[in-house]
Homo-oligomer: A and B are copies of this chain.
Amino acid sequence: MRDSGTHSQDPPGEQVMKKIKGAPLRFPAAGGNGAIAAEKPAATSHVMALDRALVRRLLHTLDNPPINVILWNGEEQTGSQSAPVARVWIRDRKAFFKVLTRPDLHFGDLYSAGRIAVEGSLVQLMEIINRASRNSAHIGIIKKYLAHPLNRSRASAQGSSRDNIHHHYDLSNNFYKLWLDKEMQYTCAYFPDPDMTLEAAQLAKMDHVCRKVQLKPGDTVVEAGCGWGGLARHMARHFGVKVKAYNISHEQIVYARERANTEGLADRIEYIEDDYRNITGKYDAFVSVGMLEHVGLAHYGELGEVIHRSLTDVGRGLIHTIGRNRPGFMNAWTERRIFPGAHPPSLREMMDIFEPREFSVLDVENLRPHYAKTLEHWLERYEQHVDQVSSMFDQDFVRAWRLYLSASIAAFTTGSLQLFQITFARPLDTSVPWTRAHLYTDRG
């Protein structure tokens, strides 16, 4: 699966951003750089000594990895003596210079446009780039970039959160069905056994969450950001609780309601198409799986207030989110093209939710390897259904999502991203479990 995608046969530089059929590829307006993919590549030109020198410099910066670079005239340079894990085709000089100036943004667009192609393992290529960028001298420059006020503002630009959510989650339920599990869990699964199926691991994830907040029959639960409603169904079906589940994605809520009706769970689940900030009522448990990435740092205190007013005195809560070892931003391309407005927080940043209201953090579990594994399953299924994806979207989209899934695997395997599950309770709650052993006992 790591060797998915041999794309050197793609005719490069001829794909433009256009809708083929089905849902359009809704890349948001993106200023000057937004037009990169549609830009007409320069006519194939000679390779100059400078080009070769820059390739050598680039490979050196990446610690001479097992990667070959093939320039627009077919000339190939090897990164190391080992057999290459990936051959990177650069189709024109303009693409080459763009990727050198702002790789975090332009690589994704040029790859999506077919002006850069990768033969071999895209995942391993991304891992090599991640590791090198962590270790190299460039890290100083990257840090400066991250500290730039314009970037600081990125994570808190939440005026358009509905647009952002719509951009990603309303793409098409049929698209996500192609590669997600049956319960449509678009969040990290939990693999007690690494060899279990994705379906089993998503059920195990939902059980893990329910056990962490100690659900018992008759409890009431509020869920903030419920996706296609799978966790709410799981809780209602297997734990005998009543759930109110909030989500601002229209297509997801419609899907969730239909399934609850079909599966006879409609009397126990209310799916509400609204923002988590409009949650009302008191509940025995608050859960939020994969929403915090879209909340925005500036709103963490507000989220804490929502939890504070929603939980009973012995209520338990869980937040499951992509995170980071230290404050930083989502890869620029992913944030611009795939997840507008997304921000993976560090634990320090997350404490803005809990500390003002003195919630007791009971348990933090980092499931990073589980997200890499989950994404490997998704990428494998995606490639298995790539013909169907191609019948729904244009090739730029097909490549963009291949890159996004591959780069995400690399981000988790190399520790650029983490996956935190945080369980919490009121400070005076003495009903918290004595140990965590109950999470690891098989149910009868």
List A residues at the B interface (Cβ < 8 Å).
Answer: 131, 134, 190-192, 194, 325-327, 346-348, 351-352, 354-356, 358-366, 368-369, 413-416, 418, 426-430, 432, 434-437, 439-441
How far is it, in angstroms, between the C-alpha of A359 and the C-alpha of B325 when the chains are bound? 6
How far is it, in angstroms, between the C-alpha of A439 and the C-alpha of B364 when the chains are bound? 15
Contact A355–B440 (Cβ < 8 Å)? no
**Least Cβ distance of A256 to chain B in Å?**
29
Given A134-B428, A351-B346, A360-B325, does the pair A369, B418 have CB atoms closer than 8 Å? no
How far is it, in angstroms, between the C-alpha of A191 and the C-alpha of B433 when the chains are bound? 12
Residues of B within 8 A of A434 (CB): 191, 194, 369
Contact B355–A351 (Cβ < 8 Å)? no
Given A191-B434, A414-B428, does the pair A360, B366 have CB atoms closer than 8 Å? yes
Q: List 24 A-B contacts (CB under 8 A).
A: A192-B435, A194-B434, A325-B354, A325-B359, A326-B355, A326-B358, A347-B347, A347-B361, A348-B351, A348-B352, A360-B368, A360-B415, A361-B366, A361-B418, A363-B364, A364-B364, A369-B430, A415-B427, A415-B429, A436-B436, A436-B439, A437-B440, A439-B440, A440-B440
Residues of B within 8 A of A194 (CB): 434
Which of A327, A428, A436 gathers the greatest number of chain B CB atoms within 10 Å?
A428
Contact B436–A415 (Cβ < 8 Å)? no
Residues of B within 8 A of A430 (CB): 369, 413
**Least Cβ distance of A326 to chain B in Å?**
4
Residues of B within 8 A of A441 (CB): 440
How far is it, in angstroms, between the C-alpha of A428 and the C-alpha of B428 when the chains are bound? 38
Residue ID in chain B nearest A427 by CB atoms: B415
Residues of B within 8 A of A426 (CB): 415
Contact B365–A326 (Cβ < 8 Å)? no
Given A427-B325, A428-B134, A440-B440, does the pair A363, B366 have CB atoms closer than 8 Å? yes
